[in-house]
Every structure is written in C-alpha cells, then in structure tokens.
C-alpha cells in the first residue's frame, strides 16, 4: 500500500536549514529557523534550566505517567504566568501538550469537535504550520489582512474590515505577541477593538502565544492575551515554553480553555484530556517539570527572568544596530521599522529574487518571503548583513 502515498510538500524552513548546513562558506548567516542563538551562534541552556534539571535528577524516584492532562504544578504555573488574575481560575481548563505546536493542533481539533462547520480566520501572513495543520484537518481557512507591506506595520483597518465578515461560531486565530513572521504587533487600544468585535460577532478567539518575554517583557507581552481572555465569554490559548525557557527539544506546551462560567469547566477539561489520550496518551513531563520547578522556586524564577530579560534586550539591541547600519548605508529611514518590531522575526520587505541573491551571492539565508530571524545575527555580523542587503539591491 505504500505505493499509494504521495510526496508531501517540503517544509521551506527545514529545507533552508539543510541548505545552510551544506554551504561550505565560512562567512554565512542563518536567519531562517526560529531558534534563539547567542553571540557565539549557540542556543544556550539557561542557568535556571540547568539548576532545575539537577534538582529533578537528584529528587526524582519514578518515571511513571503523570496523568492525561500533565502535572498540575506545570499547568497552574503556566496559567499564573500568562493570565495572572485576569480570569477566574475555576473557569480555566488546561492540558500539557507536546510543545506549542501540539497545543495549536489540539485547539484546532477542539474547535472542529465543537463546531464541524466552523471556519478559522487566520492572519495574512501567519506561521506556515498554522495553514498546514488546518488544511490537514480539513478546516476551512479564512484569511484576514494583517500586515501593511508599505508601512511594515499592522494594517488594522483592513483587519477589522475583514473580520466583520466572520459569522457566529467562527474562530479567530490571533498571535498573542511577537507576530510570526512580521514582528508587527497590536497595541492595547487595538486589542480592545478586537475584543469588542469578537463579542459583537459571536466569535471564538484562539490565541497562539509562543514568545512571551521576547517582546516588551513578560507582563507586557501577556497584556493583549489577558485583555481578550477577560473580555470574551470563551477563549482558547495555546502557549509554548520552547523559546522563553529555551527547552526546544523537550516539546513543552499548554492549551488553556476559558469557559463562560465554572459550570462548564469540568466538561471542557474532560474533553481536552480525551483529545490528549487520542493523540499521544500522556504528555511528556521532563520539560514541564523543569518549568514548574523554576516557576515555583523564587530564586530560580528570579534568575530565569533575569536571563530572559538579557535575551530580550539583546534582540532589541540587534534590531536597533541593524536599522542604524542600514540608515548609514542607504541614507534613508526605510528600514527603521526593524527597530520598532518585536520578537524574533521581521519581514525585510524585499522580493524573492533579492532573497535568493542574498543566499547565493552573500551566504545570507532567510525565508523566501524575506522573514528574518533577528536572533540569527550578532553584533559582528550585523554590518556584514547590512552591506549584503544593500549590495543585493534591497
């Protein structure tokens, strides 16, 4: 039967990783895959993570299952980190998942289970895997305009105009912060307008937040998510620990579901546990235990927050340095938006032909739509990158 299988579309980002690895040039820059790297090109293990793993190793006495929904210390810790006290705890159902991607997949499946006819409105552009998963699940996708290619900011009027066409029972996928791939984010006034529209149209928000702490800070990056969660009767939130805890390979995520009242929480919790069971039975625990150990120990938490702030400020510094260098080389402010964006990504705003020229002629690797991973640079490579961008005709 294997002969009936069809070749699946290649993942462009994974392809880019292979091409970069095969490139023999010493002077090459990887701005493709969304992984944080320090100035030495290493994705480090955070200090608090190392300390937490040591404690776990010394204290752990069993490798038995934790439960279908994961360890409560993890889910409660993540709920507190993301939502604080913005929503009543007894209205929140939560399950640990296999990374943020697992949380997104589970959220989509829950929407389909609740309303098989639901359409999911997705920002244009969005993380490509959102589209791939929705297509695989057979859920209808409705795009809404989000990014203004001229201003390099949010095209908010167009976004609202498109979402006015959503129907009751539809879901709207939102990026909680550090929009991937554009780096352009909603402000709180705009978040409130989105919340009002969701209520007016009877729409279910699903927030994907993978970069809390990478933008303006842990609390600031959660503000939009908290506003939505507190403003609407029902909400789904998919969150990842890969980036802000640096535990990419541990596949640690969480899906939260906020109900209109506490009376519905138990049913939602049971349904999410069932979806976990059908997907992989019990979620992985090691990464979740690292996170809960850090969040529940004041000293580890303080050290983690301090190192996360170092990471955030480092990316902001690189953004500013690149914008300044491009201003110096071009004599214009047309790349100033790079300093205003937040998170790991920005769209440079150049053609696929220039992106290809950057790769072939200058060893600069970025996704074809000109999405670049800011953390792929360092202070020494920024001038090289800026010169390449100018020489390539950007």
Mean pLDDT of 221-227: 98
Q: Is the pLDDT of residue 40 over 90?
A: no
The string of pLDDT tens digits covering residues 68-105 is 999 999 999 999 999 999 999 999 999 999 999 999 99
> Residue 264's pLDDT is what?
95
> Residue 9's pLDDT is what?
82
> Residue 76's pLDDT is what?
97
Give the confidence band of 393 by pLDDT, cuts at 50, 70, 90: confident
3-state secondary structure the chain: CHHHCCCCCCCHHHHHHHHHHHCCCCCCEECCCCCCCCCCCCCCCCHHHHHHHHHHHHHCCCCCCCCCCCCHHHHHHHHHHHHCCCCCHHHEEEEEEEHHHHHHHHHHHHHHHHCCCCCEEEEECCCHHHHHHHHHHCCCEEEEECEECCCCEECHHHHHHHHCCCCCCCEEEEECCCCCCCCCCCCHHHHHHHHHHHHHHCCEEEEEECCCCCCCCHHHHHHHHHHHHHHCCCEEEEEECCCCCCCHHHCEEEEEEECCCHHHHHHHHHHHHHHHHHHHCCCCCHHHHHHHHHHCCHHHHHHHHHHHHHHHHHHHHHHHHHHHHHHHHHCCCCCCHHHHCCCCEEECCCCHHHHHHHHHHHCEECCCCCEEEHHHCCCCHHHHHHHHHHHCCC
Is the separation of the CB atoms in 359 and 227 below 8 Å? no
> Residue 297's pLDDT is what?
98
CATH topology of domain 12-45+300-391: 3.90.1150
> Residue 8's pLDDT is what?
85
Q: To the nearest whole number, what is the mean pLDDT of the chain? A: 96
Q: What percent of the chain has pLDDT over 90?
A: 92
Mean pLDDT of 341-369: 94
As assigned by CATH, the class of the 65-296 domain is alpha beta
Give the confidence band of 6 by pLDDT, cuts at 50, 70, 90: very high
Q: What percent of the chain has pLDDT over 70?
A: 100
> Residue 71's pLDDT is what?
96
Mean pLDDT of 34-57: 93
Q: Is the pLDDT of residue 352 over 90?
A: yes
Region of poorest pLDDT, from 22-26, 31-35, 226-230, 363-367: 31-35
> Residue 129's pLDDT is what?
94
Q: Is the pLDDT of residue 273 over 90?
A: yes
Tell me the domain boundaries of the chain: 12-45+300-391, 65-296
Region of poorest pLDDT, from 9-13, 199-203, 321-325: 9-13
> Residue 296's pLDDT is what?
97
The string of pLDDT tens digits covering residues 372-387 is 999 999 999 999 999 9
Mean pLDDT of 33-60: 93
Please give the positions annotated as active site. 127, 208, 210, 243
Mean pLDDT of 103-128: 97
């Amino acid at each position: 039967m294997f002969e009936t299988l069809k070749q699946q579309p290649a993942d462009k980002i994974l392809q880019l990783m292979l091409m970069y690895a095969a490139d023999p040039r010493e002077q090459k820059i990887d701005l493709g895959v969304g992984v944080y790297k320090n100035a030495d090109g290493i994705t480090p293990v955070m200090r608090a993570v190392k300390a937490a793993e040591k404690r776990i190793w010394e204290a752990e006495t069993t490798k038995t299952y934790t439960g279908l929904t994961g360890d409560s210390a993890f889910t409660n810790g993540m709920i507190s980190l993301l939502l604080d006290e913005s929503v009543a705890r007894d209205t929140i159902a939560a399950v640990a998942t296999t990374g943020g991607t697992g949380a997104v997949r589970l959220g989509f499946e829950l929407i389909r289970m609740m309303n098989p006819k639901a359409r999911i409105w997705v920002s244009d552009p969005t993380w490509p895997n959102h589209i791939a998963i929705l297509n695989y699940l057979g859920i209808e996708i409705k795009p809404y305009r989000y990014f203004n290619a001229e201003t390099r900011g949010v095209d908010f009027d167009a976004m609202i105009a498109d979402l006015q066409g959503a129907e009751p029972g539809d879901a709207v996928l939102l990026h909680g912060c550090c929009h991937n791939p554009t780096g352009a984010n909603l402000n709180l006034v705009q978040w409130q307008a989105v919340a009002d529209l969701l209520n007016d149209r009877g729409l279910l928000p699903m927030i994907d937040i993978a970069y809390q702490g990478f933008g303006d800070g842990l609390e600031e990056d959660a503000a939009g998510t908290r506003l939505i969660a507190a403003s609407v009767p029902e909400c789904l939130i998919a969150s990842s620990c890969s980036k802000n805890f640096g535990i990419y390979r541990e596949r640690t995520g969480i899906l939260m579901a906020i109900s209109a009242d506490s009376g519905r929480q138990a049913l939602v919790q049971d349904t999410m546990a069932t979806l976990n069971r059908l997907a992989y039975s019990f979620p992985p625990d090691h990464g979740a235990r690292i996170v809960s150990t850090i969040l529940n120990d004041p000293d580890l938490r303080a050290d983690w927050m301090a190192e996360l702030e170092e990471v955030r400020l480092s990316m902001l510094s690189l953004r500013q340095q690149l914008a300044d260098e491009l201003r110096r080389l071009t004599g214009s402010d047309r790349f100033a938006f790079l300093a205003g964006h937040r998170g790991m990504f920005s769209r440079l705003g150049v053609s696929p032909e220039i992106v290809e020229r950057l790769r072939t002629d200058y060893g600069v690797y970025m996704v074809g739509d000109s999405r670049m991973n800011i953390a792929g640079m360092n202070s020494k490579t920024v001038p090289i990158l800026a010169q390449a961008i100018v020489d390539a005709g950007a």
